[in-house]
Structure 1
C-alpha cells in the first residue's frame, strides 16, 4: 500500500513538471501560441465598430489589416486556450467623459456571432438615440451585462429574461434616464442573478417588484435607487425568510413609499447594508431592528421617522456606518450609540435630540472617524483636560451648546479635514494653536458665534472653504493663502482699507475664488489691482464704507459671476471695461451714487445676467432698449433713480420673465448650487426682503420712484411669470393695460402715485395670487371689479381715485358712478391739502438753511440729494393731484 502511494505521488510530480514546462514553452513562443482570435469573431467586431460613433478614436486598434489579432485590440479579452472572445470592455471612464470620449451610434447585431461572450460592459456611453437592443436577450452565454449610464431609452426588453446564466445586471443611470418597464416578471427567469441595479429606471408600473425579486434565490445585491416606486408592500414575514436569505445589500433610496417601515425588513438576517434614505417613511423603528446582527451600513436619513431610537439598535455590534439624519427622532441617543464599538461614521444631524452629552458617552467609540451631529440641541459637558478616545476626520456640531469657552479638547484632533462649529455659542478669541491644527482642514465653519479679536492669518489646506461669517472680529482683514477656494468673512466688524488684502499678494490665485466680505466696516477706495484676481468668481463687498469710482481694472474679471457693491459710497459712471465681464449673472450696485445713463453694453455684453440691481443711485435718461437682450434676466430693479422716458415696448422679449426660456440658475461653479450663498435684497409688497434659497424662483421688476412717463405698454403684460411689478411714483398716464390679467403669477402689483385714468380692467380679477395691490393716488374711475381677491384687499389699495364699490365704503350707482355728495357733507380737501403743501414748503426751506453747509462733503451730498429728490417728487404728485 505504501509503495502504491509512492508511485501515485511520483506520477503527480511528473505531470506537474510537464505542465510547468509546457507553460514555460508557451511563454517563450511556441508556434501557434497564444491562439489568434477567430476570423468570424474578428469580422463581427469590425461590423460592430462600423455602426459605432467613436469621436476619440478609442478603437483605433480595431483594423481590418491581415494579421491583426482582435485578441490584442483595445477592450477585447480572449480565452488564452481557445482564442474565443470572452469579454468586451467598451466603457468610458469618468476621465474620458470629461473630454467627451463617449461611444454612441447603434449596436450592430453582429455581436450575436460572439457565441462565447460572457462579459459585456457598455457603461458610461451615449447611446441616446436608441433603445436597448432586444437581441441582447439572445446572447445566452452572458453572465455579466453592464449598461449603466449608457443613455439607452424606452422600455427595457423582456427578452433580457432569457439570459438564464446572468449573474450581474446593471441598467442604472447616474443621471435621470428614460428607461422604464411595464412589469418585472421577466426578471424571474434570472435564477442565478446575484447583482441587480435598476437605479433611476422608471418602475412606477412595477407594483410587483418585491414579489418578483423575492423569486431570485441567489440575489445578494438589490439596488433600486430613485425608481419612482410609490409603495413598499407589507407582506407576511414568512414569505421572505426562506427566499431572500442570500440578500446582503438592499438599496431603496429616494423613492416615495410614504408608509411605515414594513416588518419583513427586520427578518433579512444576512443583510449587511440597508439603505432607505429619502422615502417619506414615518412611524417608529421597531425594536426588531436588533435582529439584523450582520448589518454594517444602515441609512434611514431624510424620512419622517419619529420617536426615540430603540435600545435594540445597540445590539448591532457589527455596525460601521449609521445615518439617521433629517428625521424627527427625539430624546437622547447616548445610551444606544455608545454601545456600537465599531462605528466609524455616525450622522445624527437635524433631528430633535436634546439633553446633556458627557465625555463618558464617547468612551467606547474608539474607531469613530466621522461625527456629524449638527442641527440638534445637545449640550456638551466635558472636563477641560478631556482626551477623546477617537481621532476624527470630520466633526460637525453646529447648533450644539459648546460655549462660551473655547473647546480645548479640539487640539487633540490632529487628523481633521472637516470642522463645523457654527452657532455653538462660543464667545472668545481663536487660540493660536488652532491655526496649526487646521493646516490640513479643507472645510472650516465657525460662523454665527460670538468670536472676537483680530485674525492675523488663516492657515488651511489648499483649495479650502472657510466660513467665519457673523462674528465680532475686528481689525484689518487677515492674510489668506492664494490657494484658498472659498472665504466668507461677512457680517463682522473688520475695518480699514482692503488694499493690502487684494494687492499685497506674492502671486495671483490659480483656481476659482469666492469672496464674501460684505457687512463690515471696510473703508477706502475699491482696489485697482484686479488683474491679479482673474480667477475670481464671486465678489461681495456690500454694506461697507468704500468710496470712489469703480476702477477700469475690474474689466479683467472675465470669469466673475456675482458682483455685489451695494450700499457703499461709490460714485461716478460705470467703467466701460465692465463689459468684458461677460460671465456676470448677478450685478447689485444699489445704494450708491453712480451717475450717467444706464450703459447700453449691459444688454449687449452681459447676456448671462439674471439679476440687475441699480436701485437708489443717480442714473438718468432713458432705459436703453438693449436691456431687452437679457433673455435670462429674472430680477430688474432700477427704482429710486432719475430715469425718464417711457418703458421700452420690447420688455416682452425678457424671455425668462415671460416663461419662454428656462435658464439654469448660476450654473457652472463646480460645486452644488444649493451650497452657493447667493442672495438679493428686493422690495416687494412694500417690504425689503432678503431672498437666498428661493432666489432662483423669484421674478421681479421695480421701476418705481423715477420720472418715467407715457402709457404702460400692453406688451408688458407678456411677462407671464412675473411675480412682483412696481411702477409707482412716476408720471405714467393712460389706462391700466387691459390684459393685465394675463400676468397670472403676480403676487404684488404697485401702480400708485401716477396719473393713470379710466376704469380698472375687468381682467384684473384673474390675478388669483395677488396679495398686495396698490393703485392709490391716480385718476382711476368707476366700479372696482368684483372678485374674491380684490375685495379682500385693504381700502388703502384704492384711495385717492374716483372709485366705488367694495372694499371701499363708497357705493356705486346703477351705472357704476359715484353719487354726488349731499349738502353739508362735503369736505374742503383742496384747502386742507394746500395747508399741508405750505407746511411742507416751510419745512423744506428750514431743512436747507440748517443742513445746507453739509453739502460740501461728497458722501453727505449724495445722501442728501437722494433724500431731497424723494421729497420733491412727493410734493410734485400732491400738487398735480389737487391743483
Structure 2
C-alpha cells in the first residue's frame, strides 16, 4: 500500500477504481446476480454508471469481481466517480464534494447486500445516502478486508458491530464536512487486530474519552486519520506507552486539544513518515521542536494554521534531513527566506503562504534546492527582481509568489523552466510587456498574472502555449483588442481578462476558427472593459463544437456591447450594464440548467417571459433597470423552486404580486420595487418565504395593510415598502425581526453561490441618510426599515425599539400620531432616523442623545413641542441645522429660538459668561482704534520723509486736520470710557 498524500476527502486508498477489477470467474452465481440487481435498483444512476450490468455473467459487470475458483462475488465497487475542475487554484475539495453530493440523486443500501457473503472488498463511497445510518448488516460480511463508506453523507452512531470484521485491513468512514457520524467509544475498533488503515475524519469522537488508549492497542496500524474536527477529547498526562510501532502516516489536523502530552507521546513514533498537525491550537513551539528532532524518518510535515509565531530557523534545524514536503502556511512565522532554503537541501515541496517571511528573492533563488517541484510563498514580504538563475530550478512545476513586492522583467527569467505547469504572480508590482519568449513554457497549464501593471499586446505572447488551461490577467492595463490567434489555445478552459482596457469586438475565434476551436472553454470573464460590438454571432457558433460546448459561465458585464441578446445555453450568464436591446430570446427556454442570469441595466423591452417557470435550477434572476412591461406571468404546473434572488425592480411591470413566489421557499432577496404592481401584499409572504433577508416593494401601487405575518421573517434585514398606498397601523409584531434585534457581524455574502467556481454579487439600493446608497460588499451587515410615503396611521409601535441592531429607520410622509417612543435611544446602532411629515406630538425623548452612531436626523413638519435635548451624544452635532426641526411650532432650544423663561432664569454662571463677553468686545474696540492710529501715523511720516513736495503740502493742511482729529478723538475716548464704566 502506498502512503503518499491521500486526500482526506477522496478516501480511495487502494484497489482498482476504474471498473476493470482484477480476477473474474467464468460465470457468476445466480442468487448473487439477483442480489446485485436489487442493490442497483436503490443506487442513483446517472445514465452510464450501470451500462455494463447486462447479461447473465455478473462477474463481467463494471465494479464487480469474482473469485476464480468459487465464482462468488468478492469485490463490489460502487463508488461514484468524482472529477475535479482543473482551472481553479483555490478549490475547496470539501465544499465541492458536498454540493456535488447534494445535487446527486439519493441512494439506499439495499438489504440484498447481506447475500454477498463472500465479499472481501466493498466501496460505497461518494454516494448520496443522505440521512441514512450505516447498516448493521455490513457487520455480517465477515470476510471483508476493505470497507470504504467515505463521503456517503451517512449520519448517526457508527455501529459497534463493525468490530466483528476481524479480517478488516482497510476502514474508511471519513468525510470532511460531508458525513455526520459519531462514535461514543472506540473499543470496537480495538477488536480488529489486523487493521492497517483507519480514516475516521470528521467523525464526532467528543465522547470517546479513551480514544488514544484504544487506538494505541492496534500495533498493526500504518495509517491513522482522525482529522477534520473529529472533536477528539483532551488527553491528560501520562499518556499510554507508545505501541503504534508500524505507524507511517498520522493525521490529527483540527485537534483543538493537542498539548505537550501528545507531542511527547509522538516523539516515540520513529517510523513516522507523514505527520499532519494542521489547525491545532495550543502547540508549544519548543516541545514541537523536540518532537520533530526525534522523528528521524519524517518526509512530509503539515503545520498549517497552528498560530505559530516567531523565528522559524530553530524549528527548521530540527526537522529530518530526509524532509521532502513542508507546509507551514497560515501562521505568523518570520525569518529570511534565503537562510531558510539553505537549510532544506533536499526539499521538493515548500508552502509558506500567509506568514511574515522577508528577504530578497535573489538570495532565495540562489539558496533554493534544485530538487524543488512546488514553491508557494504568497502573502509574505519578499522583494526584488527574480534573477536569471531561477532557470537552475529545473524541476519546478508550481510557483506561487502572489501578493509580495516582486518587480521587474520576470517572465524572461522563467522562459527556461520547461517543466513549469502553474505560475501565479498575482498582486505584485510587475510592470512590463509580456515577451514572446514566454511561449517557451510549453508545459504551462495555469497562468495568473492578475492585479499587476502589465501592458502590451499580451495575448499574442501566449499564442504558443498550447497546453494552457487557465489564463487569468484580471486587473491590469491591457489595452489592445483580443487577437484572433487566441483560437490556437484549444485546451483553454478558464479565461479571465476582466478589469482591463480591452477594446474592439470579441473575435469569432474565441469560439471557432478555421482550424481550431476553443470548445473546451467553460469560464469566460471579460467584464469591466470597453469591449463593443454584437454577440449573437459568438453564441450561434457554439454548435460547431463537435463534442458540444463546455461553456457554463459567461460574464461580459459592464462593457459597451449592443444589439439583441444572444441565446443562453449556459449555467451562469452576466450581461448586465451594457446596451442590449429587444426582448429576451425564446431560446432561453432551452437553457434547462440555467442557474444565474443577470441582464440588469440594459435596454431590454417586451414582456416577462413565462418560460422561467420551468427553470427549476434557476437560483438568481436579475432583470432590473430595463424596460420590461406587462404582467408577471402566473406559473401553473412548474415553478422556479431553487430561486434565491429575484430582481425585477425599475421596470414597467404591472398586475398583481407574482403568485409563483409562494413556491420559492429558498428566496433570500426579493426586489420588485419601482414598477406599477397593484395589489395587497399577500399574507403568504410572511408564511412561505421564511429565508428572506431582503424585501423591497418600494415605489409601486400596493394598498391595504402591512400583513401581521410579516414578522415571521426572522432573517429579514432589509424591508422597504416605501412610496405605496399602504394604510392602517404599523404592526407591533415588526419588533420581532430577529436579524434586526441582534447586531450583524457576519460579512458572508447573502448569496454564496458556486463556492468559488463562480458567484453573483448581490446588491441593493437603500435610501438612507437622505440619499440612495448601493450596498454590495457589506450588504450582509446592513439592516433597514423604510415605510415612508404611505398612508400609515396610528402610533409608532414601542416594540420597534427592541430592534437594537437596526441601522436605518424611515417612517416619514405618513399620518402617524402619538409620541416618539421614549426608549428609541435603546436602538443603539441607529445611523439614520427620519420621522418627518407626520402628526407626532409631545417632546423629543431625551434618550435620543445616547445614540452615538446617529448621523442623519429629520423630525421636521410634525407637532412636536418642548425643549430639544442637547445633552451629549450625537444630538450635539445637529445644533447647527435648524431645518431638521422645521414645522414644529412649539419646539424650542438650540438650534431654534430659546424656550420661554430662559432669559429670566439665567444662572450666575451664564451671567458671568455674558459679562466676560462684553469686556472682550470693549478690549477689541480699543485695540482696533489704537492699531489704526499707529498704522496711519507711520504711513504719513514715512511718505513725508521720502518726498519733499508731499511734506510741504502736509504741513499746509496740518492745522485744519489737527483741529478735526482732536474733536473726533475726544468724542471716541469719551464713548469708550462710558462703556467701560457701565460694564464694571
Tell me if structure 2 keeps the 8 A contact 1:487–1:515: yes
How far apart are residue 613 of structure 1 and its match? 0.5
Aligned pair partner of 1:478 in 550, 566, 570: 566
Separation in 1, partners of 2:878, 2:283: 44
How far apart are residue 335 of structure 1 and its match? 4.1
Q: Deviations over 1:125-165 (max 9, x none)?
A: 34455456131234444332222337233325663772452
Aligned pair partner of 1:317 in 384, 389, 394: 394
Tell me if structure 2 keeps the 8 A contact 1:615–1:640: yes
Separation in 2, partners of 1:620, 1:280: 60
| Structure 1 counterpart of 2:502 | 426
Gap change, CA 1:232 and 1:645, over 3 Å in 2: same
Separation in 2, partners of 1:383, 1:350: 19
Tell me if structure 1 keeps the 8 A contact 2:568–2:588: no
Separation in 1, partners of 2:904, 2:415: 79
SS in 1 for 2:443: coil
Tell me if structure 2 keeps the 8 A contact 1:75–1:88: no
Q: Deviations over 1:754-801 (max 9, x none)?
A: 333333333333322333333334325314232253323463374324
| Structure 2 counterpart of 1:693 | 777
Separation in 1, partners of 2:68, 2:467: 53
Aligned pair partner of 1:593 in 676, 693, 705: 676
2:627 pairs with 1:537:
no
Separation in 1, partners of 2:346, 2:206: 39
Aligned pair partner of 1:767 in 851, 857, 877: 851
Tell me if structure 2 keeps the 8 A contact 1:62–1:74: no
Aligned pair partner of 1:727 in 777, 789, 811: 811
SS in 1 for 2:563: coil
Separation in 2, partners of 1:211, 1:442: 50
Tell me if structure 1 keeps the 8 A contact 2:330–2:355: yes
Q: Deviations over 1:727-768 (max 9, x none)?
A: 222232333222222222222222233333333333333322
Q: Structure 1, unaligned stretches of length 5 or more?
A: 1-26, 35-52, 77-82, 820-883
| Structure 1 counterpart of 2:267 | 188
| Structure 1 counterpart of 2:954 | none
How far apart are residue 117 of structure 1 and its match? 4.5
Q: Deviations over 1:144-194 (max 9, x none)?
A: 222233723332566377245254343445xx6655435633332223221
| Structure 1 counterpart of 2:429 | 352
2:251 pairs with 1:168:
no
Separation in 2, partners of 1:713, 1:621: 19
How far apart are residue 671 of structure 1 and its match? 2.8
2:697 pairs with 1:630:
no
Tell me if structure 2 keeps the 8 A contact 1:783–1:812: no
Tell me if structure 2 keeps the 8 A contact 1:717–1:737: yes
SS in 1 for 2:524: strand
Tell me if structure 2 keeps the 8 A contact 1:88–1:121: no
Matches within 5 A, 1:278-357: 278-279=354-355, 285=361, 287-293=363-369, 294-303=371-380, 305-306=382-383, 308-309=385-386, 313-357=390-434
Separation in 2, partners of 1:54, 1:593: 46
Gap change, CA 1:287 and 1:708, over 3 Å in 2: same
| Structure 1 counterpart of 2:650 | 567
How far apart are residue 815 of structure 1 and its match? 7.2
SS in 1 for 2:809: strand
2:209 pairs with 1:125:
no
Gap change, CA 1:631 and 1:242, over 3 Å in 2: closer
Tell me if structure 2 keeps the 8 A contact 1:161–1:189: no
Gap change, CA 1:131 and 1:418, over 3 Å in 2: farther
How far apart are residue 107 of structure 1 and its match? 3.0
Q: Between Structure 1 and Structure 2, whose CA radius of gyration is higher?
A: 2
How far apart are residue 704 of structure 1 and its match? 1.8
2:785 pairs with 1:785:
no
| Structure 1 counterpart of 2:46 | none
Separation in 2, partners of 1:386, 1:113: 60
| Structure 1 counterpart of 2:473 | 397
| Structure 2 counterpart of 1:62 | 139
Matches within 5 A, 1:240-259: 240-241=316-317, 243-257=319-333
Aligned pair partner of 2:519 in 421, 424, 439: 439
Tell me if structure 2 keeps the 8 A contact 1:138–1:162: no
TM-score, with normalisation over the residues of structure 1?
Answer: 0.77
How far apart are residue 545 of structure 1 and its match? 0.4
Q: Deviations over 1:568-596 (max 9, x none)?
A: 01122213333122221111011111122
Tell me if structure 1 keeps the 8 A contact 2:465–2:489: no
Separation in 1, partners of 2:900, 2:387: 72
Separation in 2, partners of 1:814, 1:304: 68
Q: Deviations over 1:66-90 (max 9, x none)?
A: xx854658479xxxxxx99685422
| Structure 2 counterpart of 1:679 | 763
| Structure 1 counterpart of 2:727 | 644
Separation in 1, partners of 2:469, 2:758: 24
Matches within 5 A, 1:835-850: none
| Structure 2 counterpart of 1:46 | none
Gap change, CA 1:251 and 1:655, over 3 Å in 2: same
How far apart are residue 639 of structure 1 and its match? 1.4
Q: Deviations over 1:630-649 (max 9, x none)?
A: 11111111112222222110
| Structure 2 counterpart of 1:831 | none
Moved more, 155-164 or 330-339: 155-164
2:589 pairs with 1:498:
no
Gap change, CA 1:210 and 1:330, over 3 Å in 2: farther
Gap change, CA 1:283 and 1:686, over 3 Å in 2: farther
| Structure 2 counterpart of 1:829 | none
TM-score, with normalisation over the residues of structure 2?
Answer: 0.69
How far apart are residue 403 of structure 1 and its match? 3.0
- Aligned alpha-carbon RMSD (Å): 3.7
Tell me if structure 1 keeps the 8 A contact 2:851–2:873: no
How far apart are residue 721 of structure 1 and its match? 1.5
Tell me if structure 2 keeps the 8 A contact 1:154–1:180: no
Aligned pair partner of 2:489 in 380, 391, 413: 413
Gap change, CA 1:723 and 1:336, over 3 Å in 2: farther
Gap change, CA 1:598 and 1:787, over 3 Å in 2: same
Gap change, CA 1:765 and 1:535, over 3 Å in 2: same
2:575 pairs with 1:489:
yes
Separation in 2, partners of 1:753, 1:303: 56
Gap change, CA 1:142 and 1:337, over 3 Å in 2: same
Q: Structure 2, unaligned stretches of length 5 or more?
A: 1-66, 75-129, 150-163, 543-547, 907-984
Gap change, CA 1:673 and 1:304, over 3 Å in 2: farther
Gap change, CA 1:320 and 1:75, over 3 Å in 2: closer
Gap change, CA 1:529 and 1:818, over 3 Å in 2: farther
| Structure 2 counterpart of 1:614 | 697
Q: Deviations over 1:348-397 (max 9, x none)?
A: 1122322322223x143222111111111101346969852553111111
SS in 2 for 1:617: coil
Aligned pair partner of 2:530 in 450, 458, 476: 450
| Structure 2 counterpart of 1:516 | 598
| Structure 2 counterpart of 1:22 | none
Q: Deviations over 1:321-342 (max 9, x none)?
A: 0112234434442343334332
Q: Deviations over 1:414-453 (max 9, x none)?
A: 1101111113322212222221233211111111122222
SS in 1 for 2:454: strand
Q: Deviations over 1:205-236 (max 9, x none)?
A: 65643453243222111112223x14043445
| Structure 1 counterpart of 2:344 | 268
Aligned pair partner of 1:148 in 213, 216, 227: 227
Gap change, CA 1:332 and 1:645, over 3 Å in 2: farther
Gap change, CA 1:179 and 1:772, over 3 Å in 2: farther
Q: State the number of aligned residues.
A: 748
